[in-house]
Structures are given as C-alpha cells and as structure tokens.
Structure 1
Amino acid sequence: MRKNLYIILLLIGVVALLSGCTDINTPINAESTGIWNKYFVYPMSVFIIYFAKFFNSYGLAIVVVTVIIRVILLPLNIKQLKSSKAMQDIQPELKKLQEKYSSKDANTQQKLQQETMALFQKHGVNPLAGCLPIFVQMPILIAIYHAIMRTQEIQGHTFLWFALDSPDYILPIIAGAATYLQQKLMMAGSPAAQNPQMVAMLYIMPIMIAVFAFFFPAALALYWVVGNIFMVAQTLLIRRPMMKEASTGGEKK
C-alpha cells in the first residue's frame, strides 16, 4: 500500500504543476496562448459555453460536460478497476512469497523480486497498468477545473440555490460527503481497508475537498459533486459486482 501513497503524492505534484501552468485568474478565450490553454482548457470552456446556450443554464452545462467527460474516461476507469482486481486476486500468493523471503539479506530480496515478477507474468498482471489511466485522466480533469474557473461567461449566473461565481456553504458539505462515500465504496473489500495510512486518506481527502470548496466558486464545487456521484454510481454498478464475483469464485475454490 506504500506504492499507493507514492502515487497519490505524485498525483498531487502533477496537479500542482498543471494548475500552475497558467494563472488561474486569467480568463480563457480563443486568443489564449500555450499548448495547455489552446488544446486543453479552451476546448473545455467551449463545451461548457455550448451546452449552456443549449440548456440555457451554465450550472446544467457543467453537470452535462462533467458527465460526458466521465463517460469518455469510463473505459480507462474500467481498465484500472480490472488491474486493481487482478492485483487483489494474487495478494494471497504474494503474501506467501513475502513471508518466504522475509530476510532483509540482499540475495534474499533479489530472489523475492524475481519470484514476484514470475508471479506477475504467470497471472498476466502488470503492477503499473493501474497507474496509466490515472495519469491520462489527470490533465483532462484539471483542464475542466481551469475551464470552470477561467470562463468569464459563468460569472453572474445561478443554478439551483447558489450563485456559480461565489462560494456556497451547502455544496462543499455535499462535495465532501460524496468524496467520502466514493472512497469508502472503493476501499470496501480491498486490502487498502486494512491499511491505517489508506484509512487516514479516507477522511483526509473529503475534508480537504470540503475546505477548498468553501473558498472556491460554487461552480467548481458543483463539478466535484457531479464527478464523485458519477464515480459512486460507477463503483456500485461495475466495481462491487466485479469484486463480489471474485470473492464468490475464491470461496468456491
């Protein structure tokens, strides 16, 4: 599970790097320069404006664009889930190897690495396969974040009970709760649920999202809420049945 923490820290670094590529307060438009603005942020802004005109609502446009992007990324998420399931399936064998080669001796550790790689090859498991979808998704999701924050047309519009260009005090709580539920469902039945560090992240991430949402425009909190609700539905419809099937199969064996 230490690898998962490294991935999370690396993703935070990627977020910080991409978020810092341009000033978040600089409006995005057709004249914006740079690869990040021209090919990532501006197209997202165009989509939001298009659907806002179609539905006559910028709030609904953010909802629709978020769902569309999540659907497009669904194959990557499924691949990531399958990779996670494959890793989970071989955990008992992996644990036996670690117990067998528990010595810190260099030769023993080298043997452990060889046996581990042989185990991965035997089951067709690539430990890095679950990371690639995350790195592919991050620029796209951050581009939506930039588009929402930098599309001036959103200013002055409202959706449901809140103004899109001002912080709201109810939506951040919903965003935090949705983040917690999504992570809780993802961890259910996985080895991560037994890891104290991952359990800590289960509570830290929702709190961070909620706190950030209190200080950002409600349009961004809306994006977080919709995205996490979609991920909750994805987990219930895809991951949990997948893990239940694996568990049932394991019991039969």
Structure 2
Amino acid sequence: MESKSVFTFFKKYSILLGALSLLLLSGCQSATFEPINANSTGFFDHNFVYPFSLLIKGIAGFFNDNYGLSIIIITLVIRLLLMPFILKQTKNSVQMKEKMEKIKPELNALQEKYKDKKDVESKTKMQQEMMELYQKHNMNPLASLGGCLPIMIQFPILIAFYYAIRRTPEIATHSFLWFDLGQSDMVMTILAVVIYFIQFKVSQIGMDPKLKQQMAIMGLMSPIMIGVISLSAPAALPLYWTVGGLFMIVQTIISRKIYASASNSTESK
C-alpha cells in the first residue's frame, strides 16, 4: 500500500540487511580467518580488525587473561556507543507511526478514490494529492529514510569486531564459564538463536499485523543463520551474539516505553 511504503521500508529491510551481513560473515572463509597482526595488509584489516584484536587482548590481560569477559565488555561498550543512534531511530519510528495513524482515514479515502484507476495520469494525480496531504499535516515521509544511518554505522564496527574475534588466536586457547572459547558449543549456539529470535519478536511489539506477517520470514533469517554459523564456529562468536542480542532486547523495551509514555503525556496536555 502506498500509505506505508516509505514508512515501513527500513523496518522491513533492516532485518534483511542484517541477514545479508551474516551471510557476508559466513562467506570468504579461506584467507579471511588468518591470524591478524601489525603486518596484516588491507585498509579494513589494518584500521578496523587489528585495533579490535589489540583491544580484546588488552582488556583480557587486565582481567587476568579472561577473554570471555573481554568480549562481553567490548560488546556492551559498542552497543552503548551506538545507543544514541538507535534511540533516535526508535523515536523517529514512534513519531512517524503516530502521524501515520492520524492521517490513515484520509489516506484510505484517497486510495479508495483511485483504486480502480490504473492509468499514468491518475497515478500521478494520486501521488500529488498524497504529497499535499503530507504537507497539510506537516509530515515528511522521506524523513524515515534516516533510519538507515544506525544500520550503516553498525555494520563496519560489528563486522570488524566479528573478524577480530575469529582472527585473534589467543582467544582459542582460553575457556569461559563452562565452554572453550575456541571450540563450538551447542548450548551457546542454542542461546544465541533463542536470544535473537526473542529480539526479533520484541522488535515487532506494537507493529501493524500485516507488517508483522510480511516480516515473518525475514525475521527468522538472522536467528537461523546465526545458528548455522555458530555450529561450526568458536563459542566466542555465539557468546558475542548472545550478549549483543540481550542488550538489544532491553534497549528496545526501555526505549519503546520511554517514547510511548512521552508521546502519551504530550497528547494529554
């Protein structure tokens, strides 16, 4: 439907982009996982992956070579640094949703008016009237395109941290809790899958039922791909995904409550 195409674009495709990033991480497994060091070539390796590797080793050394704790700390710090961007995205999403709900009756009437008219002239006229409707309610539907910024910022950072974990050989020689960080662990794999599935469900809270249905398959892609990768990957990776997923669940719940309550208080004034 035209009324929600712009608004829902990044809600739908941010999950797809996340799944595609996991596909990228699961590929190129020949020379990509060679140990990273100061002599590693390539802009991304030298400026992103290697600094993360040094950071992992530095924090682990501070905590008596506890590499599991180091991964947890860095994951939380990354998520905290990205939080302002995610909160802004959530705020924009909540505000846009409220505005769309207010003008929905007028949009439905407009769509009903042109539903049987398929010629180019009628479609152009419908678009013009739709833009006039947005202007009438001081709405900029293209503002939701700013939702891609947090995604674009996250990917290079998270991908670099992923490869730093895979390419820091010291991690594989240590254990954390009940598992060896360098060996695959079924319990951690299951935890990572479950946490990311819950995170997807939490992200759907308050979403339009039709949009939920559209996103169902794409929303399952990330947990499934995390599970597939984790089955043959060191347990350090599902540890990283589990911690990141838990943080996003808490962040989503808190931010939704904050902006929903703020919106309700504004309307009551």
1:163 pairs with 2:171: no
Of 175, 180, 189 in structure 1, the residue corresponding to residue 197 of structure 2 is 180
Asked whether the 8 Å contact 1:24–1:149 carries over to 2, the reply is no
Residue in structure 1 matched with residue 80 of structure 2 by the alignment? 71
1:127 pairs with 2:144: yes
Residues 119-171 of structure 1 show CA distances to partners (whole Å, capped at 9, x for unaligned) of 27813550211111111111101111010001111121100001101100101
Question: In 2, Cα distance between the equivalents of 1:115 and 1:136?
Answer: 35
Deviation at 1:11, TM superposition (A): 4.9
Task: Report the structure number with the largest CA radius of gyration.
Answer: 2
Deviation at 1:177, TM superposition (A): 1.3
Residues 41-78 of structure 1 show CA distances to partners (whole Å, capped at 9, x for unaligned) of 11111111110001120000000000011111111111
Question: Counterparts of 1:96-111 in structure 2 under 5 Å?
Answer: 96-97=106-107, 99-101=109-111, 102-103=114-115, 104-111=118-125
Label 1:98 to 1:84 Cα distance change in 2 as closer, same or farther (>3 A).
same
Supply the RMSD in Å over aligned alpha carbons. 2.8
Relative contact order, CA 8 A, sep 6+: which one is greater? 2
What is the SS of the residue equivalent to 2:222?
A: helix
Normalising by structure 2, we get a TM-score of: 0.82
1:223 pairs with 2:232: no
Label 1:183 to 1:16 Cα distance change in 2 as closer, same or farther (>3 A).
closer
Deviation at 1:248, TM superposition (A): 7.1
Asked whether the 8 Å contact 1:192–1:198 carries over to 2, the reply is no
Question: In 2, Cα distance between the equivalents of 1:247 and 1:179?
Answer: 30
Residue in structure 2 matched with residue 61 of structure 1 by the alignment? 70
Question: In 2, Cα distance between the equivalents of 1:166 and 1:156?
Answer: 9
Asked whether the 8 Å contact 1:88–1:191 carries over to 2, the reply is no
Residue in structure 1 matched with residue 31 of structure 2 by the alignment? 23
Asked whether the 8 Å contact 2:60–2:67 carries over to 1, the reply is yes
Label 1:234 to 1:116 Cα distance change in 2 as closer, same or farther (>3 A).
farther
Normalising by structure 1, we get a TM-score of: 0.86
Label 1:191 to 1:245 Cα distance change in 2 as closer, same or farther (>3 A).
farther
Asked whether the 8 Å contact 2:23–2:225 carries over to 1, the reply is no
